[in-house]
Amino acid sequence: MSSLGKGIVAASLGSLLEGRGLRVSMTKVDPYLNVDPGTMSPFQHGEVFVTDDGAETDLDIGHYERFTSATLTRLNSFSTGQVYDRVLSKERRGDYLGGTVQVIPHVTDQIKENIYAGSEGADVAIVEVGGTVGDIESLPFLEAIRQIRYDLGEENVLYIHLTLVPYINAAHELKTKPTQHSVKELRQIGIQPHILVCRADRPVPSELREKIGLFCNVKPERVIDCPDLDTIYKVPLYLHAQGLDQIIVDSLNIWTRNPELSDWQRIQDALDHPRGHVKIGVVGKYIDVIDSYKSINESLIHAGIAHQVRVETVYFDAATLNHTNVAAALEGLDGVIVPGGFGNRGIEGKIAAIRYLRENKVPFLGICLGMQLAAIEFARHKLGLTQADSQEFSPNSPDQIIHLMEDQKKMKDLGGTMRLGAYPCQLQAGTRAHEAYGADAISERHRHRYEFNNDYRGQFQEAGMRFSGLSPDGLLVEVIELTDHPWFVGSQFHPELKSKPMQPHPLFRDFVGASAERTKR
């Protein structure tokens, strides 16, 4: 079933196998017809996670990168739309030699080809099939993974099924029937799960796991309990305690060392025993679906681990803020993030929030659109350019502080045409950005069409804004910050896409550090 936590379980399993010294690849397949989630609304799909090579992917790819050492690529995420696009392209080229193109074997062969491409060089390939067992759209993927066991040999393939065990309040009991029927659906198409991971809002008792094992033809010790935990970063150790990683390496006949999990233990200890508390606001446009800001939320947790503080995140709908209520709304926060987004809804609310943060010396981190709006706010209220705006929202503004990038002017399609992926950035010595990274040159991931208008650089610098990060040719503004503020930084790139619990992103780490310092005043 969707949204049960397949991505977290897959990522946790990847981290456990890496802890045993294995090279792990991770791939997510999605059954929707969109080529990728790049043009999908955050309200429907949540966050779009961008890889180094510019792929716009499912947010589960973010979980994979956060939990493991992997740096994934477009080969590790594909959809039905991509599969059919490639099949039809091959048909047009005549690759099928005039044959009738069918779901089996042509679509399933393409799915397998994609899976194998994303698994090269790995000792163990973990493949997550999105969607819900029984849905029509998922059937080609399930058929493909059935065939993979036939192709590679039964000793080399293991099926793990994540299943819901709901608690019925009226009866005060957990029910196993949904799991039994889900496994029945899989067995009807030729897949017998070897391991069941039972998701519930509470621990599933051993007697129920034995019952599930009996009815689903799975050994009881391979029916794994996975209840809701207070943080996803406890899942790896919880699964390890039940021997899941040992069951897998035994089943695949892989010899490994004992797992090295001290980093996960350290993270769990830091989360369980914080030495302080910070309250961070996120002023966004898509707060009704918190997954829209998944990587930001996780990056704040990572930064809290680094400082051993508990980060409380409070979300504000930018569309409800204005100059009359913003002070009351944001009062009591230790720091605020203004994240990225598209379209003009909520823009003035974000600008009002940024002005409050700048004038009241509250730590601020602006990301992508958040950086652009920080520049617009500065122009309006510091430089006196009252009509300052972005070409995206106000194409007739006399002062377009933010304008369309030159190479974007000829673009017509929306999908996959932004400035996407990792690009280099040079940092200026003596700035907060340089202090955070401890490096002169960095590489960060981007997802934007608009940029700072260099015609205004001189005015901004004279008024106290520093351009602390630039593209190597000096033409594109990557990082801005204020010299007369405790911590006010904006980045055109998305730092949240490269943060891990073991390696908090430098900007998030220092932002939370500045916010923690504010609590001591």
Residue 426 in contact with residue 441, Cβ under 8 Å?
Answer: yes
Give the pairing type, strands 24-30 and 450-452: unpaired
Catalytic-role residue among 18, 128, 377, 496: 496
Residue 38 in contact with residue 56, Cβ under 8 Å?
Answer: yes
198 a catalytic residue: no
Letter string b/e over residues 54-72, b meaning 16 or more CB atoms within 10 A of that residue's CB: bbbbbbbbbbbbbbbebeb
Catalytic-role residue among 368, 377, 392, 478: 368
Residues 469, 275: Cα–Cα separation, whole Å: 33
Q: What's CA 209's distance to the chain center, in Å? A: 32
Residues 98, 431: Cα–Cα separation, whole Å: 63
Q: What's CA 156's distance to the chain center, in Å? A: 30
| SS3 per residue for 276-302 | EEEEEEEEECCCCCHHHHHHHHHHHHH
Q: What's CA 325's distance to the chain center, in Å? A: 32
Residues 88, 93: Cα–Cα separation, whole Å: 9
Residue 490 in contact with residue 479, Cβ under 8 Å?
Answer: yes
Both structure tokens of 400: 């377009």
DSSP code, position 259? P
Residues 370, 254: Cα–Cα separation, whole Å: 48
Residue 180 in contact with residue 216, Cβ under 8 Å?
Answer: yes
Catalytic-role residue among 45, 63, 434, 494: 494
Element housing 336 (H / E): strand 335-338
Taken in order 389, 392, 394, 396, the sign of the CA dihedral is: positive
Contacts of 183 (CB under 8 A, 6+ apart): 161, 163, 193, 196, 215, 216, 217, 218
Residues 425, 168: Cα–Cα separation, whole Å: 54
Contacts of 184 (CB under 8 A, 6+ apart): none
Contacts of 151 (CB under 8 A, 6+ apart): 112
Write out the catalytic residue numbers. Answer: 368, 494, 496
